Amino acid sequence: MPSMLWFRRDLRLRDLPALGAAAAAGGDVVPLVVLDPALLASAGSVRQRCLFAALRALHESCEGRLVVRTGRPDHVLPAVAAECGATQVHGSAESTPYGRARDERVRAALAARGVGWVATGTPYAVGPGTLVTGGGTPYQVFTPFSRAWRDHGWPQPAPVPRGLRWATGIDSEALPADPNPADPSEPALPVCSEAAALQRLTEFVAEGLPTYATDRDRPDLRGTSELSMHLKYGTIHPRTVLAAVATSGVRGEGPERFVTELAWREYYADVLWHRPDSAWADLRGSLAGMAYDDPAPGSATEAAVSAWRAGRTGFPFVDAGMRQLLTEGWMHNRVRMVVASFLVKDLHVWWPHGARHFLAHLRDGDIASNNHGWQWVAGTGTDAAPYFRVFNPVTQGVKFDPDGDYVRRYVPELAHLAGRRAHEPWKAADGDAAGYPQRIVDHGQEREEALRRYDAARH
């Protein structure tokens, strides 16, 4: 009798404990993907393109046997189980608010048909909700969480089960094609597949890991792992990444810093597990009285936010990041912090407006990491006292893009300004010669205004 494996955020075969559990149940395995209209409606075209590319690669890995259905999972899974005679459905445990509620509906719907739901493993090295303090409460600060996370550890990557057999004869919909394969306005995306993820991991460990501690903050360099997209869709598991780092032979600050960044991803997932309300509301209520400007249609704030989205604020480092987002579906993490600070503290706009824009365009858009990263910048999240941290877009650019290469790459109107001059075009007589816009705000004045609003909210 076959068992079913429901793929979600785990679009791979290696290091997939749920696959091992499905295979161990005996019989053939029915590999199933459910295209959930609720999730597809919330994903921009970039994320849909990544998802469908990963599904096409997974279909090949499953020897062309991947079963694709569209509909509500609590309707689709019982129907497919009845079609193939499966008595168990396997999958990785979910941790997002939507995923947990959906899986509970699926469990109940399957149970009503006499079919068991078996959750094995998670998309994380340590499952969200696993770690608590000595007092049994969730961790409120990253550093102690990180220590507990490392002390807890994780198993070695799970192998692909031997003798795995995919079931045949089950009807499937055709896999979706790329939604925008020839649209010049759409970003050119890297390959999203298990093979591409493993190849990139190998390249990064050999070339990027030794210098990661210093290069990770340089958007002008290829200093990051570029694995965030693959972790998002589960074309690679973080355990596989951690194992590769541990066995790389690389020592020093590079691997230590990289593992810490993976811990941040797991921390934000843990925060969302314990506080699902923090997906779209302030985690900490201490700034509940903060005054924000409303980007209502036709307002000056809406015009400023539109300039921010288009990368036409007049601040080159900010504009380079926003244009990178639009042209690549990705943005360097250092620049994400700077552009987020600009929206919240220079334009005085509440962080969810920016978080939604990011999720609409990021190929690695993950609600836990994205939204809690925004809150970290906005001063309403996990950091203890962050609101005084107002990123200066000019000094940040000069420090982390010292030769201006990153700015000139994405802001061609400044290609004629050599070196760091690209960060301050208003100081050059020909700075706007190619049509680069003037600054839409005075950063110094807006910083003071942000701190004034913060002080008023506290008191």
Element (H, E) at 117: strand 116-119
pLDDT score, position 182: 62
- Residue 64 CA, chain-centre distance (Å), reads 29
**Spatial distance between the Cα atoms of 411 and 409, rounded to a whole number of angstroms:** 6
260 Cβ contact list (under 8 Å, min separation 6): 146
Please list the ranges in the chain whose pLDDT falls under 70: 179-182, 384-386
Q: How far is CA 177 from CA 58, 107, 328, in A?
A: 14, 30, 20
CA angle, 299 then 374 then 338, to 5°: 80
Dihedrals phi, psi of 226, to nearest 5 degrees: 60, 30
Interval 220-257: pLDDT, tens: 999 999 999 999 999 999 999 999 999 999 999 999 99
Indicate the Cα dihedral angle 447, 452, 455, 459, nearest 10°. Answer: -160
**Spatial distance between the Cα atoms of 255 and 258, rounded to a whole number of angstroms:** 5
pLDDT score, position 177: 79
**Spatial distance between the Cα atoms of 424 and 314, rounded to a whole number of angstroms:** 9
pLDDT score, position 389: 87
Contact 365, 359 (CB under 8 A): yes
Q: How far is CA 198 from CA 3, 83, 205, 231, 297, in A?
A: 28, 35, 11, 11, 45
For the chain, what is the radius of gyration of the CA atoms?
Answer: 23
Residue 432's CB is within 10 A of a number of other CB atoms, namely: 15
Q: How far is CA 435 from CA 283, 406, 422, 450, in A?
A: 41, 19, 14, 30
pLDDT score, position 181: 64
**Spatial distance between the Cα atoms of 270 and 131, rounded to a whole number of angstroms:** 8
The tokens for 130 are 């696993």
137 Cβ contact list (under 8 Å, min separation 6): none
Give, as one character, the DSSP assignment of residue 383: S
Question: Under DSSP, is residue 5 helix (H, G, I), strand (E, B) or coil?
Answer: strand
Of the chain, the percentage scoring pLDDT greater than 90 comes to 92
**Spatial distance between the Cα atoms of 339 and 392, rounded to a whole number of angstroms:** 10
CA angle, 102 then 105 then 111, to 5°: 140
